[in-house]
Amino acid sequence: MLRRHARAACTALVAAGMALAGLQAGTATAAPDRNPTAKTAAQTLAATAAQPELLSAMQRDLGLTRPQALTRLANEAEAGATAARLRQGLGAAFAGAWVDGAESGTLTVATTRAADAAAIRATGADARLVPHGLTALERAKRALDRAATAEAPVRYVDVRANVLVVEEARAGAGARLVAAAGVPRELVRVVRTAEAPRPLYDIRGGDAYYMGGGGRCSVGFAVTRGTTQGFATAGHCGRAGTTTSGFNQVAQGSFQGSIFPGNDMAWVAANTNWTATPYVKGSGGANVQVTGSVLQPVGASVCRSGSTTGWHCGTIQQHNTSVTYPEGTISGVTRTTVCAEPGDSGGSYISGSQAQGVTSGGSGNCSSGGTTFFQPLNPLLQNYGLTLRITGSDPGPGPGEPQPGGTWAAGKVYAAGATVTYGGATYRCLQGHQAQTGWEPPNVPALWQRA
């Protein structure tokens, strides 16, 4: 159980690192770093610095008190780090991880090997033995994606149920898809849905930005590329060359790159009249700070800012979901319980102060509820060579202080499993993120493990 014990969780990770050494033949697990300045996961992700607007939305939409909301963010930060370390150690036996409880106080990690249970429990997590590894389920999902049509519009791995879910809009569509893809039937659960996901861009007027050809969308996150300032948004909002104007109808910039379908990512370069700031618009127009881009685990809280419906919160249901819109299939999006409506497309998803992604599409609305999907931000940043604007970063070494050197570099996007060198040592990335000064590998064991 990860209940309010950030430091205890960090101590448990040290024990887990040792216990994991015998989990997988051929997998080396080095002793943990002895860095007195290393930050806990909650400190790294600035969980205790969550701003009032975000906490208020979590209270309203998740039924929490303010202390519960703060505890939940801290628990989710620690759970994400614990799950990431276990995934590295368990290898192919890893079958997913998720958090539960009003305060995300319980982390569960699934494995296909009974012998792993003790090492999982040593971290403070619950262990669950399941028949299918996450890698095998995701491989099967890719086969379904290649054969999918709009009759079976959504596919994802439900890690809690250890099954590949296909949502069918027409009776028999799921079974036909499974047969066409050649996926073993025992891996799949077909569920009927009356909802048809669609991109959320079809309301015009009164929004954060307007496209030159008509329509409006929402700004995602402020970014820079060299000296150029701009923002990340959804690909279905515009194509390269599409001009934009801001919320005030003043000329703003133009789309520099856009991918849709396949993914749903784009970025807009702004002209010199606009300045990229490290904030997301909160309730009443207040600024909510962005301090990084560490993707949070299944079950974690997440809030969305959009120009149509404002602030709403919910939880992460599944990562790496595939959705078939009328325009085509997009893959690698995250499924959430947060509501959204047309015009919210491209807007910000944020967990605590960690940028998660930009609104893609969904079904339902914010009156009756619904399901929405976001394009994760880190692949977008990496694809276009963008740097997320953040607050509160460490200034790094001062004049005359030594530069440790190595292959690690601030501004680069690292995926889980990537390796770098820093200060003469090798480190393996635990959680995908864009590196920043102050997040050097020895300082953030939630993000890097010494190899």
Query: Could you give the residue numbers annotated as active site?
Result: 236, 264, 345
**CA geometry: angle at 284 spanning 203 and 64, to 5°?**
100
Cis peptide before 326 (omega within 30 of 0): no
Give the amino acid at 208. Answer: A
Give me the residues paired with residue 415 across strands. Answer: none
Alpha carbon 206 to chain centroid, angstroms: 28
Q: What is the 3-state secondary structure (H, E, C) of 67-127?
A: HHHHHHHHHHHHHHHHHHHHHHHHHHHEEEEEEECCCCCEEEEEECCHHHHHHHHHCCCEE
DSSP 350-412: EETTEEEEEEEEEEEETTTEEEEEEEEHHHHHHHHT-EE--SS----S-TTPPP--SS--TT-
Sequence-distant (6+) residues with CB within 8 A of 5 are 124
Residue 397 CA to residue 405 CA, distance in Å, equals 12
**CA geometry: angle at 279 spanning 212 and 274, to 5°?**
40
Residue 398 CA to residue 403 CA, distance in Å, equals 10
Identify the residue whose tokens are 């015998």: 22
C-alpha torsion 135→141→146→150, nearest 10: -160
Is residue 255 within 8 A of residue 241, CB to CB? The reply is yes
Residue 36 CA to residue 33 CA, distance in Å, equals 9
What are the φ and ψ backbone dihedral angles of 433, each rounded to 5 degrees?
A: -170, 165
Per DSSP, the three-state class of 46 is: coil
